[in-house]
Amino acid sequence: MDFYQGCVLAAVIAFIVLVVFAIRTFIQIAHTAQAVEYLALSTAEKVDKTQSTFTLLDNVASFLDSGLFRAAKAGMELVKHFRKEK
């Protein structure tokens, strides 16, 4: 076996090793993609379940910003003030 045949053999072995690592990498990428897809689906389901809570919090925040709540708060402050004077 001369020098060039040894170089070709080394190149073929290196190429086979490269192909094996590439295949293993693509398999790992496929597993990771499946895991990410599962995570996205389960997160979407959880967000859908909590949507009603977010709607309720938005309604409460809107009520707290409304004039009706401010008027009720002012009325309670007046009641507290008059109770303190007695």
Percent helix, percent strand, percent coil in the chain, to nearest 5 = 95, 0, 5
For the entire predicted model, the pTM comes to 0.49
Query: Using 50, 70 and 90 to split pLDDT, how confident is the model at 60?
Result: confident
- Computed over every residue of the chain, the mean pLDDT equals 86
14-50: per-residue pLDDT in tens?
A: 999 999 999 999 999 999 999 999 998 888 777 777 7
pLDDT of residue 16: 97
Domains in the chain: boundaries: 3-85
Task: List, as one string, the DSSP characters of 21-55.
Answer: HHHHHHHHHHHHHHHHHHHHHHHHHHHHHHHHHHH
Q: Are 36 and 30 in contact (CB under 8 A)?
A: no
* CA atoms of 14 and 30, how far apart (whole Å): 24
* CA atoms of 83 and 18, how far apart (whole Å): 85
